[in-house]
Structure 1
């Protein structure tokens, strides 16, 4: 895409949990579309490495900023927004992506672990939005995209904490969208399905090509498109919702799961 055709040229995006996985894919796409990108993550080493790689991909270190941020600590979030605004004087897009994968039977979930999941995945989202709104209000516009999960709508055993927090993220986004619409601030939610990430790559490491293919087929057996999502595909969905082509979309939840949410109906068709 030619530089002059990028609708997001010169806009500033903050992406949380961006040192790897889906967050990194989102940052890659937004950078590709012309944004300046602030990479927020608690992992300093991976965050710095990601920021350097992103800057190298566009040959412009001035368009990428890494800020070490614990999303459960309000002071960290305030500091991250201050650093971003100091660098680029604006915040046009906020992508709340940081998430804690926590799967345990109900009796094995400790109260402090439940609280940790809620603090990072829900309270952190609320705190970042609260920081973004005054900036976006002064600008007269803004786009917020919260990353939830297909577990917000349908889930599995041992996922009560994860499903609860992802359902809450989607519900919170709808309410925020209604509240902020008069300010010109849009709020939408992306619900990813099974997406390739570092954990999956570690599972596949050391396998033969045949074993790797068999393992990926098993992972994808409930996905009608027959494969896992790539992180940049989630990024493409985020870029759409954050961009001008979605200017009349707010309060929406976009499922990006290769048809997995419709699997029961699809599987019945295959069995007939």
Structure 2
């Protein structure tokens, strides 16, 4: 993957940052896309000392112009796009009756429409070079879910179905599209919940979050990054239209409450 050019959305923190760091370690040049300029600018300084291999581009994936601008800047800097990782997402948890149409539209726009627009914008460059790898991040909620996750689960399921269809469409052109479904992962939301707690309270909370995970712990962001790096690389050259679950075994068993 040396000198491959990658775009990672939502990469200023959490899973996205874990993915970007793994890709950088593998030798990629990475455009870090995120709406939060302060966190994103700081993140790229912390990811690597080689400033020629990483850049931050402030991007709101709900805005088509922002996505187009980010892809254009990446190509202007490094000549093409080899890898796209659509990671950005909005976590939403509420009952059906309390969910407004605006709530629904926000999740749909960020988690599905944003993925679609980013794919549209990189495809011309991947087609020109006759290869490319796109990895869409969804969630285990696309397969098995819980009450109050109707909108979130629907959109994540949409990501999986969309990825399969696009994979079929562009396989003859050498472009692969796959999906990763993370389970419970240490991210910025988890860090915020743990920040005000003492050490024992943090341990108790982490045990609670991991109670249904056979491996006995939640994932680190870099572990999701490793799965993404594999699918993005030539090591996965015969894999397209696939869905890879990275959840410590949680979705492999039945739980009854």
Superposed pair shares fold, TM > 0.5: yes
- The alignment yields a C-alpha RMSD, in angstroms, of 1.0
What secondary structure sits across from 2:172 in the alignment? helix
Higher radius of gyration, 1 or 2: 1
**Which one of the candidate residues 8, 12, 23 is aligned to 1:30?**
23
1:246 aligned partner:
236
1:154 aligned partner:
144
2: distance between equivalents of 1:53 and 1:140? 34
Work out the number of aligned pairs and report it.
Answer: 256
**Greater helix percent: which structure?**
1
What secondary structure sits across from 1:18 in the alignment? coil
Deviations 1:21-47 (A, max 9, x none): 000000000000000000000111111
2: distance between equivalents of 1:27 and 1:168? 24
1:5 aligned partner:
none
Deviations 1:60-115 (A, max 9, x none): 10111111111010000000000000000010000000000011100111101111
2:105 aligned partner:
115
Contact 1:223 1:263 in 2 (8 A): no
Return 5+ residue gaps in structure 2 as ranges.
none
2: distance between equivalents of 1:198 and 1:114? 22
2:34 aligned partner:
41
* Residue 4 (structure 2) pairs with residue 11 (structure 1): yes
Return 5+ residue gaps in structure 1 as ranges.
1-7
The alpha-carbon deviation at position 139 of structure 1 amounts to: 0.9
Equivalence map 1:77-88=2 (5 Å): 77-88=67-78
The alpha-carbon deviation at position 260 of structure 1 amounts to: 0.4
The alpha-carbon deviation at position 210 of structure 1 amounts to: 2.2
The alpha-carbon deviation at position 172 of structure 1 amounts to: 0.2
1: distance between equivalents of 2:83 and 2:224? 16
**Which one of the candidate residues 162, 183, 186 is aligned to 1:193?**
183
The alpha-carbon deviation at position 200 of structure 1 amounts to: 1.0
